[in-house]
Structure 1
């Protein structure tokens, strides 16, 4: 797997690659013949999302290539060795695009036959930038078959180069007559997928801001799907955050976007599916860090196994359940519903109101919800019930934070400040809650260890560490709450 950083240019058939000497050592050009088959669904779902999946022969890197969009000019590329079959996509790659195909079969949709001349910029043996001069014959398969020919130039940053050097190369190419390409890829020039539908909202309205935010979070959730399937670092967390932000937005903006209760329920389900592995990952790292701070003589019995490899095994089992869920009809139905929501939401009367006026009122209402939850919690005499109610305060603070963050691009720094204040409440209450949960888990593990005849001394130490952390957060909160209320009045 790698990250591609490249600039693409359209050039005329008579274009000449300019002199690149003075930038670095120039090697080449060297010629290659490349033949690539591209795969997609019949309705070009991958192409519509900027995803390309190909089987390529020839050149320095023959094989299967899956390219996933990450940011402008940057793509994530996942490779697989060349297989004999041109009809069957390797299962590992087909799995990674399930969020887009949703069970629809992949088949060849186009072929690119490319004569490529490659020039390298090097510093000694270190490869800096590759300039590929491509003469392309593109063939579209299907009911509307066609053949198209064109020429283009790509400048790609290699492992030893810098973006500054890439920019200098681009400048020389443009000066010689190249123009930056608007197409994200060769395939995008050849195929014409139907554009993703967008909601018909009016500029400057509350509806425009809210629907754009929702669509952005849908894209964020989809972009994490392949990373979760590959168990990449922090992917489950990021996908869970996108699901939470979506659900929070649909709750906060319920007067703007209507009839989303079912989608909210399904987002809660997805969050729970993702949460099991994420919570185990966090608690395993937490216990590992705490054990590392203890003197060796204080770590007794096989506690590192119980709190390390045993929890890791449970985490891996949870990952298996995630992958199963992400390949099921319930998940596909949720993604279809989210696509529909982003494209054609049911809008309320609030959607037509000017954004500044209405959105600020929504942000204030969401903060008021936090204070009301706090007042209700403090009115409860029973300590256990009060703690449960304070967990509701934390959830309300998280929703207020997500709402403010969503509105910051429109309403400015005040929303950024409100988000930080809500996050402060959320974090302290979260520290307390995490400490309580950690104590409960440690107590269960200690009981299992005791039944197995193991020394449980270290479990007691860790429970003490967690209790102290929770108690500090509990003691800190009243002062933080008072300070936060004062600050919020200046923002709202």
Structure 2
């Protein structure tokens, strides 16, 4: 099935039925308009019984009539007045009333195992005027809608109203067109919409998801739960991007898992440890599954960067990149399987339940700033202890390399502990966060060069490469050795500031 997605930028207004619209040809960049066309649109909207989509300002519908009959999924973009609209025509999907997979996949992290059911039926008589720019191309559409809506929820009722919609088309619109249209339509009788969408007005109030924030004197429990909500939202937002293997999506979703786990380990007495231990283990497993795909992404990027300035043969390029590409494809498929499992959806449900009803631990009522200070102090002491142990191992030995890896993990935990204080708006944690990031980054580079040099050595040991390719590998290995030495020096410099 061929689905298409576009960004929709529009204005909406409530208006009295039959109210005459102004002449929109006075707007900047508009020189003409097509004859108005009237359509009859009939739409059925789908959501879960809990209204998981509507609560996240998402609409899913099946609509007949007009120029874009088919299935539509509209999601927020983060920009006021703009939404992403995914469209799937009836030519590309069975018209059997069952929601197509293409629309379910982008929101399955919200709907999970819950069934999608009809929640509203909305009929619209729409009169559309297309506005034309200086070159005759459409720049905007103005719609005058007469709407009848029936909520299909228990106790739902019937409504009628009128509204105006003004939507930009393409990229040829004058930069000030939207602002000018907003002013003109408001001055001509348009009022601020009483609801964000036709669906919201049809079904009434919904349990809208609110972005987490703190009060003036938060407790440790309030801070931890706020951070959990922030990282839960991040995990949910990257879920659909991982499903299409978008750039950096696996990395960001994995980071969200690790940040969630760090809240449990960094603030162990704020929540009831016995009741959140299972959550931490499940997040660890998910992060490991995502990690397989992320590691192959990193290795591919390193290989491509190393080969970019070398005269490598097709055979050498294939040996370095094709095998890793296959590893990445397998890892992504494994991640998708995990993300479609009941176990994954149960994890998301458990996180939501934790946010809604957190089990307090012994330090739940502690001042949030005090809790962060304690977590940072404990984490810094742990890193220093590991650094002291590092000095007892011979440089380059397996024990020394393992200890570097331990320090890196502890630096990451310190960084996440300082990041947990972000909602407090305090500046005093920034220096510690910067040092922790520098240590983590430098030791990450050390680890990457170590892994890559081991792979290069395996290729050389195979004894099947040509002389020129062996020479290229030698050059690459020398560059990796130098990169590793620079990264180790950067770590040692950063460690002085801890």
Q: Do the two structures share a fold, i.e. TM-score over 0.5? A: yes
Aligned to 1:387: 401
Q: What CA distance in whole angstroms lies between the structure 1 residues aligned with 2:130 and 2:267?
A: 53
| 2:112 aligned residue | 102
CA contact (8 A) 2:214 2:423 kept: no
Contact 2:14 2:164 in 1 (8 A): yes
Match of 1:112 in 2: 122
Residue number in structure 2 paired with 1:184: 196
1:22/1:156 Cα in 2 relative to 1: closer, same or farther (>3 Å)?
closer
**Equivalent-residue separation in structure 2 for 1:367 and 1:7 (angstroms):** 51
- Which among 318, 330, 338 is matched to residue 305 of structure 1? 318
One of 71, 74, 82 as aligned partner of 2:78: 71
Instruction: Answer yes or no: is 1:12 the counterpart of 2:16.
Output: yes
**Which of 384, 391, 402 is residue 416 of structure 2 equivalent to?**
402
Contact 2:43 2:63 in 1 (8 A): yes
Residue ranges of structure 2 left out of the alignment (5+ in a row): none
Residue 215 to residue 72, structure 1, CA distance change in 2 (3 Å): farther
Bigger shift: 192-201 or 157-166? 192-201
Residue 229 (structure 2) aligns with: 215
Q: Map 1:92-491 onto structure 2 (within 5 A).
A: 92-123=102-133, 124-160=135-171, 161=173, 164-181=176-193, 183-191=195-203, 192-195=205-208, 204-206=217-219, 207-259=221-273, 260-294=276-310, 296=311, 299-300=312-313, 302-381=315-394, 383-447=397-461, 450=464, 456-482=470-496, 484-485=497-498
Query: Can you give the 5+ residue segments of structure 1 that lack an aligned partner in the other structure?
Result: 486-492
Alpha-carbon distance, 1:103 to partner: 2.4
After superposition, the Cα gap between the structure-2 partners of 1:475 and 1:329, relative to the gap in structure 1 and judged at 3 Å, is same
Q: Secondary structure at the match of 2:359?
A: coil
SS of 2:420's partner is helix
The Cα of 1:390 is off from its aligned counterpart by 1.6
Normalising by structure 2, report the TM-score.
0.87
Q: CA deviation at 1:301?
A: 5.6
Aligned residues of 2:27 and 2:180 also touching (Cα < 8 A): no
2:41 equivalent to 1:34: yes
CA RMSD for the aligned pairs? 2.9
Partners of 1:24 and 1:121 within 8 A in 2:
no
Local SS of the residue matching 2:50: coil
Q: Report if the CA contact (8 A) 1:109-1:142 is conserved.
A: yes
Aligned residues: 481
Q: CA deviation at 1:348?
A: 2.7
Contact 1:117 1:134 (C-alpha < 8 Å) held by counterparts? yes
> What secondary structure, in the 3-state scheme, does the structure 1 residue paired with 2:464 have?
helix
Q: Give the structure-1-normalised TM-score.
A: 0.88
Give the whole-Å Cα distance in 1 for the aligned partners of 2:263 and 2:180.
43
Relative distance call for 1:9 and 1:333 in structure 2 (3 A) is same
Query: Structure 2 CA distance, aligned partners of 1:412 and 1:135?
Result: 51
Q: How far apart are 1:368 and its partner, in Å? A: 3.5
Q: Are residue 46 (structure 1) and residue 53 (structure 2) matched?
A: yes
Report if aligned partners of 2:390, 2:400 keep a CA contact under 8 Å in 1: yes
